[in-house]
Amino acid sequence: MDRYVVFGNPVSHSLSPEIHARFARATGEVLDYQRLLVPVGEFASHAQRFFSAGGHGANVTLPFKVDAFAFAQAASERARLAGAANVLLARGGEVEADNTDGAGLVADLTRNLGLDLRGKRVLLVGAGGAARGVIAPLLALAPAELAIANRTADRAAGLVKHFRELGTLRVVSLQTAPDDGFDLVVNATSSSTHAQSLELPQGLLRPAACVYDMAYGEAARPFLALAAAQGARVADGLGMLVEQAAESFLLWRGVRPATDAVLAELRARLA
């Protein structure tokens, strides 16, 4: 049976095995998909062991997306642009990196949530692997600007420099909210997953703004509750998780599964 895993730390909370099991049943594919906890600093050795033993593919979650890109022998254009990977696949004797995070986020924002970001002001919080994977797809939606805030400003500045030819970007601080605010705020940090607080200062949000946390379920609720208290429309990352998983499944199996039923089922269970 073809073997797949999700690498992460933490990873016990991941719904990816359930999602891919549902996709496999719906499409008639046969596969085995498991979680694999990897100690920080040991990604390459665990990934090498998995693929050397015949593993077919992997999803990669926090904090290993940059490590996954470095580990792979080949990479898709979107993974190269991001410098990070959330998908690995064995192909032609090599391990290839890809990044479906951006496609998953865009599908959730535009198709599931009905957002139109043309001419809007977007704030991305975080500058790690999760953030890197969504910058180019967000800019492709033609926002007026994409601002990046990060605890280490130099890392945010590095991303602005890296992606500057794709659209209007700048570095901002969460401690000093801009006067004109944002229409969409996306939390791409690991703060929610690790039960850490994240500031959401007054004045950050425009009227009818949406606040989106890439974490999902219980982990995302404290941050989203802060945003809802300020009048924002809020959404967690469950839709992104399902949509990026469908893109991963397409890469691995050659068929893109429908996502609506799976997302509705998981949403009802986590409510």
Q: In what order do the strands lie in the sheet with 233-236?
A: 169-171, 145-149, 121-125, 182-187, 205-213, 233-236
Annotated active-site residue 120? The verdict is no
The catalytic position among 20, 56, 65, 132 is 65
Closest CA to 243 of 14, 13, 16, 83: 16
CA distances from 176 to 80, 149, 182, 203, 230 (A): 32, 10, 13, 9, 17
Q: DSSP characters for 166-227? A: GS-EEE--TTS--TT-EEEEEE-SSTTTTT------TTSEEEEEEEEESS-GGGGHHHHHHH
Q: How far is CA 257 from the centre of its chain?
A: 19
Give the sign of the dihedral formed by CA 224, CA 225, CA 231, CA 235.
Answer: positive
Residue 126 tokens read as: 């975080």
Helix (H, G, I), strand (E, B) or coil at 259: coil
Active-site annotation, residues:
65
